[in-house]
Amino acid sequence: MPLLDADAVMVRAQTGELKIALPRLFELTAGDELGDVPRQQTFALLSSSDWQHWDPPERQAVVSFADTWWRATRTDEDPLVSVDSVLACLAYLGLPMLRWLGPWLEDLDGPGARHLADAVIAQFPDEAWAGLPDERSQVLAWARGEPVILGLTLIGGVHLAEGKLGEALDQLLG
């Protein structure tokens, strides 16, 4: 399966071979190499497979990938996949949103501030959120909270292009 393209891997995953296809799906998803396959489809498949009841090593592999992809994306100056898109994908896993949002506050002294400001200004626009209105609402409510506003204002603002902090604060406070 390591050499199969995205369509072929997705077909195999959808026809009962998800656990075998998952390493390749994760590779293609993180590398933004899924072509026409929506990246959230990998995580929707996991959600429908009830992955949280798999054996502990299998569950841990999913969580480890998710944690690593999330950390790498929010700390990368120019990630392959937008932070907004990664967060939407991770929301499909059914874990508490605070698991993903809490660590973002620790990254505001660097690229994480820019990614957060961009997502806030755009109001988390990724199409993957269409299937997750409650989770998107949680993210927007979290972003309007005091820790985020103070974090962007006191720490993250120095990492933003001119005018971006004002735009982000207009969205958060408006």
Length of the chain: 174
- What residues have CB less than 8 Å from 36, skipping those under 6 apart? 6, 7
Amino acid symbol at 22: L
Stated pTM of the model = 0.95
* Helix (H) or strand (E) segment spanning residue 6: helix 6-12
SS (H, E, C) the chain: CCCCCHHHHHHHHHHHHHHHHHHHHHHHHHCCCCCCCCCHHHHHHHHHCCHHHCCHHHHHHHHHHHHHHHHHHHHCCCCCCCHHHHHHHHHCCCCCCHHHHHHHHCCCCCHHHHHHHHHHHHCCCCHHHHHCHHHHHHHHHHHCCHHHHHHHHHCHHHHCCCCHHHHHHHHHHC
Domain layout of the chain by residue ranges: 55-173
Which tens digit of pLDDT belongs to each residue from 4-63? 999 999 999 999 999 999 999 999 999 999 999 999 999 999 999 999 999 999 999 999
Mean pLDDT of the chain: 96
pLDDT at 1 over 90: no
Convert the pLDDT of each residue in 13-25 to its tens digit.
999 999 999 999 9
- pLDDT at res. 28: 96
